[in-house]
Structure formats: C-alpha cells, structure tokens
Structure 1
Amino acid sequence: MSQNNAIYKGFKVSACVRRASSADPGSNSVQPRFLATVTILQVSSGMGSRRQLPPLLQHFANAPHAAITLALSSAREAIDGMSTFVKAR
C-alpha cells in the first residue's frame, strides 16, 4: 500500500488516485490506467511568509501505487524548487 499523505519541509502533500480509462489510438482495446492528483498545502509559516504553491500536479500510471509514487515525487521536487532559504543579516 502506498502512502498518499505526507508532511515534507513544512508542506502537507496529499495524493488522490482514481481510475481513468484510456484507449490507444487505432486500437479497440481499452487499457486501465490510474490518475493521481497531488495537492500541496503550506502548514508551517513560522520560517517565513506564505509561498506561492504550484498548481495541482497530475500523473498517469498503470497501477494506483505507481501513480501515487510519481505524483508525490513530483510534489517533493516542486517543494525543493521553491526558495525556502532566508539569509540572516
């Protein structure tokens, strides 16, 4: 079972997964796929001001746990990309 909620560097990261069918172009077969959507909320404002958060991140995969893993990984990368370091004067 994949973890779909976590606190990472003062942000709550939550992933929600749902089944999404996608048909291959030119084929009659429908392959089951899963869509994970992740949200990022700032839970700690003690280390600085509120930050602009990225929009909802979505990832498709062939298994629910794989979609969640991709979504949470991209959320952690987005958080790491935000400037959280403040120089002391």
Structure 2
Amino acid sequence: MSQNNAIYKGFKVSAKVRQAPDAFPGGDVVHPRFLATVTITQVSTGMGSQRLLPPEIQQFADAPHAAITLALTSAREAIDGMSTFVKAK
C-alpha cells in the first residue's frame, strides 16, 4: 500500500492506493488495476467557518501512481468546486 498526502487551499488531501480485485463478478480476468481512495480534511478554518466536505473519492487506474494522480486531481476539483464566499456582516 502506498500513501500520498498534500495540503491544498487549507485542506489536507490524503490518498491511499491498493491493488484492486483483478476479476469482474462474471469471472472475466482483467489487467491488474489499482484503486486510490482520497479523503479530504479541513486544516485551516480561515474565518472560523467549517466546510461540508465531500465523501471519500475513489479512482481506478492501471498503475499505482496513475490512480493516485487521478484521485488527487478529483479531490482538488472537489475543493475548487466548494463555495469559498464568506458574507460580511
């Protein structure tokens, strides 16, 4: 198992990769594939606001580094898609 951690815009993005099952339920054998799972944790609360974080993000690829790259890219896109607007009082 491999793990990759990064801080992106005040969020900790942690990716873990493992080898995925190598057969479909019907019994067809496929090339070895890897599953990367990413979790997002808020490390900076900025002006005290907590953000609703997306659930775990998963991506499959034929190589471990490719799976991590896809998963981290998906996590960054999810963070970029969160509203960062803070209404002034």
Same fold (TM over 0.5): yes
Provide the aligned length of Structure 1 versus Structure 2. Answer: 88
1:51 counterpart = 2:21: no
Aligned partners of 1:37 and 1:56 also within 8 Å? yes
> Match of 2:54, SS?
coil
Q: Identify, as 1 or 2, the structure richer in strand.
A: 1
Q: CA RMSD in A?
A: 2.3
Work out the percentage of aligned pairs sharing the same amino acid: 78
Structure 2 unpaired stretches of 5+: none
Aligned partners of 1:15 and 1:38 also within 8 Å? yes
Larger relative contact order, structure 1 or 2 (CA cutoff 8 Å, min sep 6): 1
> Match of 2:50, SS?
coil
> What TM-score does the superposition give when structure 1 sets the normalisation length?
0.85
Runs of 4+ in 1 over 6 A off after TM superposition: none
